[in-house]
């Protein structure tokens, strides 16, 4: 059926519904519509009560089914009820409800994909309201038969870009085609990412790289496919290539550098998710590597967003690059009248008593210097979990040392100053 025939049929339905509203039989149409919507709601409840499957792929599929259960079930029931009731009552109301419910299904599906593709995006809620308004407006214009006149107005506004003549209607079609194909690309990208997440034998960084490459290739392919479908010549994109190059050279070079640096970090695997690193004054565990920045979660819970370019161009201390073991040094001073060998044994025993301190290499105590106020010692030991922090461990060791020093009569000195006052001799 052609577009003109569809427009004419919908316009006839709208006029027929206006006539039906004056007839007493309109109550039967509302009753049939209410029954279909009630059964559709019941089907939605049954679908939502189904147990959730394991894995992200099952979660995505079941989630989309739950969101579309009501509108799709309502459309299906109305398509069955309409031919059954048509010999007995008018069905204009049921016929007009079908495209509206189909529009509702399209809106829900679009934003279900967007929520999984752009997790945590703040702009998504406002964009959903705007998109729903546009879809409902188009459906209303389509039903009222005004849409062809609006299209004619858009086609009347034309301009030339390069060698091709474009109109506002062609541009809107191209935008809609690009959005539709990109949504499909993002959906496939989510499925590929879910499949890669299940490949536990593959390195985490490689999984992230492949997921990003797949999503980027799918988006580019979507654009290359959608534009020719609406009659836009791809060669006209060369007009923007020069401007894009200038933009990258002037204002976007940092963004491009961070983007490339992010792929370098993921490919050479110098920094992985879970590593404890220090860059500049920031120290923390890598929890996420994005296109532009890397997230470091500090031991205090504060998250630092470090640009990827900084991780490539500066010195990064990776405490878990090849080995998670880290040496901890704890200085302590004892007085000159204390038993130094006994003190060294107490320090080593206090470290060995902690579960987090590994046995090999064994804890050792070193004499650093004979200082002004006492003898400087250093207790050195190794741990295998630096990401858990050292504050509590140091506290436990220091408390044990303090108790053992008191029992052994070993004192910890503090700076003392002796002041002598000389009485000035009176002058003769």
Q: How confident is residue 400, by pLDDT bands cut at 50, 70 and 90? A: very high
Q: Of the candidates 96, 129, 156, which is a domain's last residue?
A: 156
So what's the pLDDT on residue 261? 82
- 163-186 as b/e: b if 16+ CB within 10 A: eeebeebbbebbeebbeebbbebb
Q: For 31-43, how does the pLDDT look when each residue is reduced to its tens digit (9 = 90+)?
A: 888 888 888 888 8
CATH of the domain at 364: 3.30.70.100
Residue 136 maps to a domain: yes
Q: For 220-243, how does the pLDDT look when each residue is reduced to its tens digit (9 = 90+)?
A: 777 777 767 666 666 655 555 555
- Spatial neighbors of 82 by CB under 8 A, at least 6 apart, are 91, 94, 95, 98
Answer yes or no: is pLDDT of 349 > 90: yes
DSSP state of 163: T
Query: Both 149 and 176 in a single domain?
Result: no
So what's the pLDDT on residue 46? 83
So what's the pLDDT on residue 144? 63
Residue 414 maps to a domain: no
Distance between CA atoms of 399 and 77, rounded to whole angstroms? 74
So what's the pLDDT on residue 181? 78
Is the whole-model pTM more than 0.75?
Answer: no
CB 413 within 8 A of CB 363: no
Query: Both 16 and 70 in a single domain?
Result: yes
DSSP state of 357: B
Q: Of the candidates 129, 156, 183, which is a domain's last residue?
A: 156
So what's the pLDDT on residue 419? 78
Provide the domain count of the chain.
4
CATH of the domain at 293: 2.30.30.60
Q: For 199-221, how does the pLDDT look when each residue is reduced to its tens digit (9 = 90+)?
A: 666 666 667 777 777 777 777 77
The alpha helices in 198-316, defined as continuous H runs, are 204-229, 238-250, 253-268, 308-313
Query: Both 109 and 18 in a single domain?
Result: yes
Query: Both 220 and 279 in a single domain?
Result: no
The closest of 326, 280, 154, 124 to 296, measured between CA atoms, is: 280
- Spatial neighbors of 382 by CB under 8 A, at least 6 apart, are 325, 326, 327, 328, 357, 358, 361, 363
Q: For 152-187, how does the pLDDT look when each residue is reduced to its tens digit (9 = 90+)?
A: 777 777 777 666 677 777 777 777 777 777 777 777
So what's the pLDDT on residue 324? 78
Residue 265 maps to a domain: no
- What's the chain's average pLDDT? 76
Residue 266 maps to a domain: no
Q: Tell me what percent of the residues of the chain surpass a pLDDT of 70.
A: 71
Q: For 84-124, how does the pLDDT look when each residue is reduced to its tens digit (9 = 90+)?
A: 877 877 777 777 777 778 877 777 777 776 666 555 555 66
Query: Both 46 and 107 in a single domain?
Result: yes
So what's the pLDDT on residue 2? 46
Query: Both 7 and 133 in a single domain?
Result: yes
Answer yes or no: is pLDDT of 1 > 60: no
Query: Both 20 and 55 in a single domain?
Result: yes
Residue 108 maps to a domain: yes
Query: Both 49 and 5 in a single domain?
Result: yes
Q: Of the candidates 113, 131, 156, which is a domain's last residue?
A: 156
Query: Both 332 and 393 in a single domain?
Result: yes
Q: How confident is residue 286, by pLDDT bands cut at 50, 70 and 90? A: confident
Boundaries of domain holding 370: 326-408
Residue 96 maps to a domain: yes
Query: Both 177 and 202 in a single domain?
Result: yes
So what's the pLDDT on residue 57? 44
Residue 63 maps to a domain: yes
User: What's the mean pLDDT in 254-283?
Assistant: 80
Residue 424 maps to a domain: no
Query: Both 300 and 342 in a single domain?
Result: no
Query: Both 25 and 137 in a single domain?
Result: yes
The closest of 103, 136, 112, 4 to 59, measured between CA atoms, is: 112
DSSP state of 362: P
Q: How confident is residue 48, by pLDDT bands cut at 50, 70 and 90? A: confident
């Amino acid at each position: 059926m052609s577009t003109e025939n569809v427009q004419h049929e919908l316009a006839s339905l709208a006029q027929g519904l206006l006539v039906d509203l004056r007839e007493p039989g309109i109550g039967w149409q509302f009753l049939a519509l209410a029954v279909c919507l009630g059964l559709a709601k019941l089907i939605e409840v049954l679908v939502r009560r189904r147990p959730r499957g394991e894995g992200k792929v099952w979660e995505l599929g079941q989630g989309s089914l739950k969101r579309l259960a009501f509108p799709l079930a309502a459309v299906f029931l109305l398509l069955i009820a309409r031919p059954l009731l048509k010999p007995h009552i008018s069905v204009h109301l049921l016929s007009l409800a079908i495209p509206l419910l189909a529009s509702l299904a399209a809106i829900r599906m679009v934003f279900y994909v967007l929520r999984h593709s752009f997790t945590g995006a703040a702009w998504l809620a406002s964009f959903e309201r705007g998109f729903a308004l546009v879809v409902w407006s188009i459906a209303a214009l389509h039903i009222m038969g005004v849409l062809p006149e609006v299209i004619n107005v858009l086609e009347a506004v034309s301009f030339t870009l390069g060698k091709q003549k474009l109109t506002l209607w062609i541009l809107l079609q191209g935008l809609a085609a690009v959005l539709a194909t990109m949504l499909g690309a993002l959906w496939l990208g989510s499925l590929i990412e879910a499949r890669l997440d299940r490949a536990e034998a593959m390195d985490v960084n490689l999984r992230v790289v492949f997921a990003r490459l797949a999503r980027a290739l799918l988006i580019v392919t979507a654009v290359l496919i959608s534009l020719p479908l609406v009659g836009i010549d791809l060669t006209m994109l060369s007009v923007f290539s020069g401007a894009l190059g200038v933009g990258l050279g002037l204002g976007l070079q940092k963004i491009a550098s961070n983007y490339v640096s992010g792929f370098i970090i993921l490919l050479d695997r110098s920094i992985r998710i879970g590593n404890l690193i220090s860059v500049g004054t920031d120290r923390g565990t890598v929890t996420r590597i994005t296109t532009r920045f890397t997230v470091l979660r500090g031991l205090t819970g504060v998250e630092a967003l470090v640009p990827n370019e900084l991780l490539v161009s500066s010195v990064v201390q990776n405490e878990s690059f090849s080995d998670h073991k880290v040496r901890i040094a704890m200085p302590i001073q004892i007085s000159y009248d204390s038993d130094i060998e006994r003190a060294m044994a107490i320090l080593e025993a206090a470290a060995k008593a902690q579960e987090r301190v590994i046995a090999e290499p064994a804890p050792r105590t070193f004499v650093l210097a004979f200082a002004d106020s006492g003898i400087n010692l250093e207790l050195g030991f190794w741990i295998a979990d630096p990401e858990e922090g050292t504050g509590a461990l140091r506290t436990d060791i220091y408390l044990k040392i303090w108790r053992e020093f008191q029992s052994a009569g070993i004192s910890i000195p503090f700076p003392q100053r002796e002041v002598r006052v000389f009485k000035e001799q009176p002058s003769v």
